[in-house]
Chains A and B, each alone.
Chain A
Amino acid sequence: MIENINPGLIDWSRAQFALTAIYHWLFVPLTLGLSFLVAMMETIYVRTGKEEWKRLTRFWMTLFGINFAIGVATGIILEFEFGTNWSNYSWFVGDIFGAPLAIEGILAFFLESTFVAVMFFGWNKVSRKFHLLSSWLVAIGASFSALWILVANAWMENPVGMVFNPDTVRNEMMNFWAVLFNPVAVDKFLHTISSGFVLASMFVMGISAWFLIKKREELLAKRSILIAGIFGLASSLFLAFTGDSSARTIARIQPVKFEAFEALSDGKQNAPLVAFGVLHGSGEKIGGKELPNFIFKIEIPDLLSVMTSGNKDAYVPGLKDHIEGNSDKGILSVIEKAERGKIARQTLLDYKKAKENKDNEQIGVLLKKFQDQGFRDNYFKYFGYAFINSPEEVIPEIYGAFYSFHLMVILGFLFILIFSLALIFLFNGTIGSKRWFLWILLFSIPLPYLASELGWILTEMGRQPWIIQDLMPVKIAVSNISADSVKTTFFLFVFIFTALLIAEISIMLKQIRLGPKH
């Protein structure tokens, strides 16, 4: 029996996952970054023995603790959603997704129950050095914990290191190291944790600026700006570097996503990079989908060719190349990929029939086929295209991808400017008198949150229609459940997460107003 999936169910399931992930990501990056800042401040305390550094450490540790406590376990809900709303997907990914998430869960539990406890309860109960070690282990462990989630997410962008088992209909891990060192995972991990470092640095600078505006705790505020400014500047430069590397990897592995966030319809040599632009409909269509054009744009000549290939004369393919194909450049069209996908799907169907007929010889032949590298690289790789109805279906939402990407990049460069100015004003001794700049620092606190969320929106929206790149479209990944139940939990989550956010902000604001303890 064919079970019909309601398109509304797909949209609500996606909306619910997006909502949960966006809220979850409000807590995580501050934990990632602030844990390192606290560990650095405590290191200075342990090395110098000066009590004011201890006060500083404990103040920021309190804010870290509030964020950590409110955010803890919000990610578990995402795992619930996999099992309920995305059961076909959860089954299909098999142990690939389960193994990294299990490691993350064990690691997080171990960390949270031991070293975080020493960090908060262990002052004056363990030696200074052991306490410092615990703080560093919490910081390193938080990033290490994020690594496994990002490895799992990267596999969805670039499925590697596995073999499909037609018996279980699951992908089975064949090469753990290929999964771990997936180029998308490496880029994603470095880019994501450095974005957390930038966010936390801006958070520390913004709150320190508030103390300077109020003329309270000025020495401690300036010291915080010093540490956060240096860490933030180094991290934001590294963020730009990893962003560049990540874009190059996406151009190679997920070219349609890359072309969408560059709004690149036609491939070209000496391709310029659009620093910013405003899009409108061009009137030109692929199938039912209209391609955008620019009302205006600021371009940097040749830079896109240089960024993607290291050569200004290099050809950068556009959306049309990947939808309609370009035999000169060795690019398959969507229709050609769909033909290959259908052969892979037919092989699965043949396997099913062979099992039903108990045809052991045919079963053996087909099992070998699924394990054959040539079949995997040339046919199974395009398995998901068998479910694509029309070529334009593989084009993601271009406007959303383009603006998310460009706004994120602009904000990234703004952070470099803000951190640089903060350090210049701090070193020339004028930061306390530059109230306009202090207000800018304070009101800049939400900006890295915005940039970070835009990055995730780009990552996930830009991958559409795929839940697993080229292997599984979202529409066949979803469970056949009632859309009403998904709607109910969607609004329930809006309420729960908003309540948690309000609780976090109000407890934090109270602690900030109280300031460091004397």
Chain B
Amino acid sequence: MNSLNQFFATFIRIYIDGFRNLSSWGRKVWLIIIIKLFVIFAILKLFFFPDFLGRKYNNDIQRSEYVRNQILNSSDKND
């Protein structure tokens, strides 16, 4: 247990020291990463990419019924 704690402590120390001593390019790319993750998860996901079936239906039975109808009705159109 002690060695495992030591292992994690080393990792945390590496992180802290690494962020304290970031190079110029390191600061730039971390800034880009943070902006990018914010845009992806807080803007794109929330406002532009909802889960289509998840939002439209409450449970999997309704979702499977919807997809079944979509598929079967599509084929009816092609007969």
> How distant is A36 from chain B, measured CB to nearest CB, in Å?
21
> Which of A2, A88, A114 contacts B77, CB < 8 Å?
A2
> Which parts of A41-85 form the interface with B (CB within 8 Å)?
62, 65-66, 69-70, 72-73, 76-77, 80-81, 83-85
Contact with A along B51-72 (1 / 0, CB 8 A): 1111000001001100110111
Asked whether A3 lies within 8 Å of B14 as measured between CB atoms, the reply is no
> Which of B15, B45, B52, B68 contacts A352, CB < 8 Å?
B68
Please indicate the chain B residues that have their CB under 8 angstroms from the CB of A312 in the complex.
none
On whether A126 and B51 interact (CB within 8 A), knowing A70-B32, A386-B78, the answer reads: no
Please indicate the chain B residues that have their CB under 8 angstroms from the CB of A125 in the complex.
10, 13-14, 17
> Which parts of A61-119 form the interface with B (CB within 8 Å)?
62, 65-66, 69-70, 72-73, 76-77, 80-81, 83-85, 87-88, 90-92, 114, 117-118
Please indicate the chain A residues that have their CB under 8 angstroms from the CB of B78 in the complex.
386-389
Comparing A267-275, A281-289, A322-330, A488-496, the segment that makes contact with chain B is: A488-496
Please indicate the chain A residues that have their CB under 8 angstroms from the CB of B19 in the complex.
121
> Which parts of A259-318 form the interface with B (CB within 8 Å)?
none
> How distant is A75 from chain B, measured CB to nearest CB, in Å?
10
On whether A169 and B67 interact (CB within 8 A), knowing A62-B25, A84-B51, the answer reads: yes
CB of A174 closer than 8 Å to a CB of B: no
Asked whether A73 lies within 8 Å of B36 as measured between CB atoms, the reply is yes
> How distant is B59 from chain A, measured CB to nearest CB, in Å?
12
CB of A128 closer than 8 Å to a CB of B: no
How far is B73's CA from A492's CA once the two chains are assembled, in angstroms? Answer: 33
How far is B73's CA from A352's CA once the two chains are assembled, in angstroms? Answer: 12
How far is B36's CA from A481's CA once the two chains are assembled, in angstroms? Answer: 26
The B contact surface, by secondary structure, is helix
> How distant is A500 from chain B, measured CB to nearest CB, in Å?
7
Please indicate the chain B residues that have their CB under 8 angstroms from the CB of A147 in the complex.
none
> Which parts of A1-55 form the interface with B (CB within 8 Å)?
1-3, 5
CB of A518 closer than 8 Å to a CB of B: no
CB of B74 closer than 8 Å to a CB of A: yes
Residue of B nearest to A62 (CB): B25
Residue of B nearest to A479 (CB): B52
> Which of B37, B67, B75 contacts A342, CB < 8 Å?
B75
On whether A2 and B73 interact (CB within 8 A), knowing A120-B18, A125-B13, the answer reads: yes
How far is B33's CA from A257's CA once the two chains are assembled, in angstroms? Answer: 39
On whether A481 and B32 interact (CB within 8 A), knowing A489-B44, A510-B25, the answer reads: no
Asked whether B37 lies within 8 Å of A84 as measured between CB atoms, the reply is no
List, sorted by A's number, 6 A–B pairs whose CB atoms are closer than 8 Å. Answer: A2-B76, A85-B52, A91-B53, A168-B60, A348-B71, A488-B48
5 residue pairs, one from A and one from B, having the closest CB atoms: A121-B18, A80-B49, A69-B29, A87-B52, A2-B73
Residues of A near any B CB (own CB < 8 A): 1-3, 5, 62, 65-66, 69-70, 72-73, 76-77, 80-81, 83-85, 87-88, 90-92, 114, 117-118, 120-122, 125-126, 167-170, 342, 345, 348-349, 352, 386-389, 475-476, 479-481, 485, 488-489, 492, 496, 500, 503, 507, 510-511
